[in-house]
Every structure is written in C-alpha cells, then in structure tokens.
Amino acid sequence: MDGNCHNQTVQPQIPIAAITDEFSSDLETALSAMLEIGMTGAELRVLWGSNILDLSNDELERARDLVHERGLAVISIASPLLKCILPGAPETDTRFQHDIFASKHTFQDQPRLADRAFEIASRLGARIIRVFSYWRSLEPEKCFDGVVKALEDLARKAARENLIIGLENEHACNVATATETRRVLDAVTHPNLQVVWDPANCFVSGENPFPDGYRLLPPSRIVHVHAKDCHLGGDKPVWGPLGTRSIDWKGQMAALKADGYPGFVSLETHWPGPAGDKFEASRICGWNLRGLASL
C-alpha cells in the first residue's frame, strides 16, 4: 500500500479526516488535497503559520468558511492544552521531543487557553477539543492527581458548552499508553471526557497498541482516532507511510468497525516524506488511510 494505486470507487466505511497542516499550513492547499482523497473532516491545529488558539476571530471565520464551502466539517480543535510542565512535578523526561506546533505556553496560561479553545470550537462548530496530560516526568504516577484534576475541570466546563474533551495518549506526556489512559478514564468518569486514541503513540511508549492496548479501552469512550505509522530505530520512532510499519492498522480499523465506532480516523502524518516532501507524504498516507478505511 504505497498510495500509487488509487481506487476511488470504494468508499470509506469509517469517515476519514486529517490535521490540515500535515498537508500545508495554507488551509486552501490542504483542503484541496484532502478533498481529492475523499476526506470529509478537518482537524485544525496550525493555520497560516499560527496555532489555532492564536488566530483572530476574522481568521477563524475565514477558516470556517473555507472548510464549509468545500463540504467538510471541522471536527476537532487540535489544541496544545496541557502541553506544559505541571508545577511541582518530578524532573521532566528529556528522552521525548516536545512538539509544540507554533505554540509555547505555561501552566499559568492554561485557563485562558481553555476559554479560548471553547470559544473557537463553538465558532467553528467543532465538537472535540484535543488536550494532553502535561509533559512527561520521570515519575509520571506522581503527576496523576494533577492530571485528573485538570481533566475533571475541563470536562465540567465542556459539558456546559456541549463539547467533548478528547485526551490524546501522547508519548511525550504523562498519559502515553493505553494502560495509563484507562487509569485516567476510571478516575474521571465524566462523560464529557473521552479519548483521542493514537496507536502509534502507544507503540512508541512501549505498549502493543493493537490488540492489547486497544482492548483496555472502553470503545464507548473513544471519540477520535489519530493515524500515523512507525517502527523503532533503537528507542526512537522512525516514521513512514501509513500501513507499512509496525502498527496493525488493518486489525485496528476492523476492530473499530466491529465495535461500531462512530467517529473519524484522522491522519497525523509525521513521516517527513520522500526527499523530505511532507505534502507528498501526507498524500501517500491519506490514500493509504482511505484504503484501510474501505476494507
């Protein structure tokens, strides 16, 4: 599956989407490529060089119009909420790259950022706000109570706005594996806290994502899924074309379908691409995602 054999007659059985800046920071460029692949959802993170939370209201309206004019839905605000150091946490685990995507904020910024994220989601008609669990410390279990408190607060606020807080398992943050994710879900039973399931992040964190990790999670609390693929080179991830590396994407997609998963699977390419061409990497991975979603 290399993206060169495009079967446009087979329709995805699970709706597919992408984080738009994986194609291009220019939204129109990204949306054109996504439409060609057959994606129907857009996840917004970095637009025109700025993080989604830093855009003006005029820029947000332009983004909304561009997405809706093409018949796509804004499905998620891929915010950087809780991608910061938790005060009082043990020393940060420096093995992991901290991807900040044109956003660098502190713990003190979080209430303001959360308010803005809720406002943006409402403006754009997005149901999900993606959040994290603070940068991973050398003793992540000592951050558990702080993570739970933050997520409970966000879930309560989201309920008032009819929004969903989607906790992504992120290898650079304190909730990285499915085991860690399940522990948080058991502690925060609020229905407005759900999971953005990322099998590749789980794999990089040392846990087999499918079937082992996935089966630890209640399917009813998975609201969104991110798709990327890698193998390990030593202890570092080596990203590649979706469906060609270490993640069992065929098995994962079949399980989502069998479990009645109602959400999107959204491309988060990560692979730098052939000759460093990230746009082409996302095109290849996008077509591979369409194929996987159509099986």
pLDDT at residue 71 is higher than 90: yes
**The predicted structure's pLDDT at residue 3:** 44
Percent of the chain, pLDDT > 90? Answer: 91
pLDDT digits (tens, 9 = 90+) for 130-154: 999 999 999 999 999 999 999 999 9
* pLDDT class of 10 with cuts at 50, 70, 90: confident
Asked whether the whole model's pTM tops 0.85, one would answer yes
* pLDDT class of 11 with cuts at 50, 70, 90: confident
Alpha-carbon span 20 to 26, nearest angstrom = 8
**The predicted structure's pLDDT at residue 1:** 45
| Peptide bond connecting 211 to the previous residue in cis, omega within 30 degrees of 0 | yes
pLDDT at residue 267 is higher than 90: yes
In a domain, 175, yes or no: yes
Amino acid at 158: A
pLDDT digits (tens, 9 = 90+) for 102-119: 667 899 999 999 999 999
Alpha-carbon span 83 to 88, nearest angstrom = 15
In a domain, 41, yes or no: yes
In a domain, 112, yes or no: yes
In a domain, 3, yes or no: no
In a domain, 1, yes or no: no
Alpha-carbon span 256 to 12, nearest angstrom = 13
By residue count, the chain amounts to: 295
**The predicted structure's pLDDT at residue 236:** 92
CATH number, position 130? 3.20.20.150
Q: How many domains does the chain have?
A: 1
In a domain, 286, yes or no: yes
Q: What is the mean pLDDT of residues 120-124?
A: 98
**Pairing outcome for strands 46-47 and 50-51:** antiparallel
In a domain, 159, yes or no: yes
Residue with tokens 């590396």: 245
Q: What is the residue range of 101's domain?
A: 16-293
